[in-house]
Amino acid sequence: MGRTALVVGATGIGGSYVARQLVASGWRVYGLARRPSGEPGNVTPVAADLLDMESLEVALGGVEPTHVFITTWMRQATEAENIRVNAAMVRNLLAALASKKTLRHVALVTGLKHYLGPFEAYAQSGTLPDTPLRETQPRLPEENFYYAQEDEVYAAAERDRFTWTIHRPHTIIGMAVGNAMNLGTTLAVYASICKETGRVFQFPGSEAQWNGLSDVTDARMLASQLLWAADTDAARNEAFNIVNGDVFRWSWLWARLAEWFGVQAMGFSGSIQPLETAMKNDHEVWREIAQRHGLVEADLDRLASPWHTDLDLGRPLEVMTDMAKSRKLGFTAYQATDESFFNLFSQLRAARLIP
């Protein structure tokens, strides 16, 4: 069919799996990042900064994508700054692609903050949203960089006559190094430190998260939905939630994760115990562990993002996500969540990122 993908954010926790799955499905794939990698094989790296129009236009000069998958963001200090920067990234990209006659479809990955609010008012302000979260729920009154990014896609789609889909994952479980938010790897590193130092593996979050129902998004599920939507006429110009398809309670999963690492699990013990506090003095500990075991990444900050794990697991409500909309249109993939974590841990071990 001559389909060419441009994956934007191709080295991230979402984008790298999308690129890999597109390659495996026979697409021609370009992978854009400021520091792109040739991995996985057969992804053509495109080095450009989305905040630099000139670098974008030069880098995209010879690229004629039929489909664009936007899986990128840059974390800023305030939501106002998040909006300014992350909307500009999408706007610049689509402006640089405006003259490409090949472009048929743009997929944008956002997330559940669409329903829960931005980090600075995360599931805190006003009335808590109804769960399971559904695509039909209206936008919140607070400003939100996801809304600004969506609006950039809608405006460019109207202008340049392409179709779009929006994809809203919950916490993404997958392997990436040096990215902003990675709960699975953060927990793997924390458990490895507990194992090496004899500390207990303490659940850091809230009572509501410990006891309530939850779900997550395996990066492979996100990639599968993006590929499905690219091929499905009925999905055009729609927004979709994307999670594994099962639900679990952290009170069940925590002990299973502890067992994988051979550490002692400690559940919710009356108050939130932030991981950021628990790990704040672990940089040297991790350097020593990395040296002792011959690991390839000794910088704790490139593997663990405890600030984000604390936000996720500290939420004052249970959070799970309705999948009926894409299922009814034929997206029926499913992933058991404990196996998402075990699969990630095995990948991290094989890549010598954890002992």
Ligand X SMILES: NC(=O)c1ccc[n+]([C@@H]2O[C@H](COP(=O)([O-])OP(=O)(O)OC[C@H]3O[C@@H](n4cnc5c(N)ncnc54)[C@H](OP(=O)(O)O)[C@@H]3O)[C@@H](O)[C@H]2O)c1
Catalytic residues: 113, 146
Tokens of 212: 């309530």
- Is 107:6 a contact under the CB 8 Å cutoff? no
Of 34 and 199, which has the nearer Cβ to ligand X? 34
Closest-approach residue to ligand X (CB): 12
Q: What are phi and psi of 27, to 5 degrees?
A: -80, 155
Task: Compute how many other C-beta atoms are within 10 angstroms of the C-beta atom of residue 269.
Answer: 12
| 27: Cα separation from own chain's centroid | 22
Instruction: Give the three-class secondary structure for 34.
Output: coil
Can you tell me which of 34, 199, 283, 302 binds ligand X, judged by CB under 6 A? Answer: 34
Scan residues 83-112 and list those touching ligand X (CB under 6 A).
89, 109-111
CA–CA gap between residue 246 and residue 236 (Å, rounded): 26
The region of 12-20, 99-107, 188-196, 228-236 touching ligand X under the rule CB under 6 A is: 12-20
CA–CA gap between residue 165 and residue 106 (Å, rounded): 7
Place of tokens 């509501």: 208
**Nearest distance from C-beta of residue 256 to ligand X, angstroms:** 20
Can you tell me which of 5, 13, 29, 166 binds ligand X, judged by CB under 6 A? Answer: 13
Tokens of 72: 């990128």
Of 109 and 194, which has the nearer Cβ to ligand X? 109
Helix H or strand E segment including 254: helix 250-261
Can you tell me which of 6, 97, 166, 181 binds ligand X, judged by CB under 6 A? Answer: 181
Preceding amide of 118 cis, omega within 30: no
The region of 3-11, 116-124, 251-259, 338-346 touching ligand X under the rule CB under 6 A is: 3-11
| One character per residue 151-170, x = contact with ligand X (rule: CB under 6 A) | ------------------x-
CA–CA gap between residue 209 and residue 291 (Å, rounded): 35
| One character per residue 39-68, x = contact with ligand X (rule: CB under 6 A) | ----------xxx-----------------
The region of 27-35, 125-133, 249-257, 334-342 touching ligand X under the rule CB under 6 A is: 27-35
Of 73 and 190, which has the nearer Cβ to ligand X? 73
Scan residues 332-351 and list those touching ligand X (CB under 6 A).
none
First vs last C-alpha separation in the chain: 44
Of 27 and 73, which has the nearer Cβ to ligand X? 73
Burial of 109 (0-12, 13-18, 19+ CB in 10 A): buried
**Nearest distance from C-beta of residue 11 to ligand X, angstroms:** 4
Preceding amide of 40 cis, omega within 30: yes
**Nearest distance from C-beta of residue 288 to ligand X, angstroms:** 27
**Nearest distance from C-beta of residue 184 to ligand X, angstroms:** 9
How would you classify the pairing of strands 43-47 and 67-70? unpaired
Footprint of ligand X (CB under 6 A) = 9-15, 33-35, 49-51, 71-74, 89, 109-111, 169, 171-172, 176, 179-181
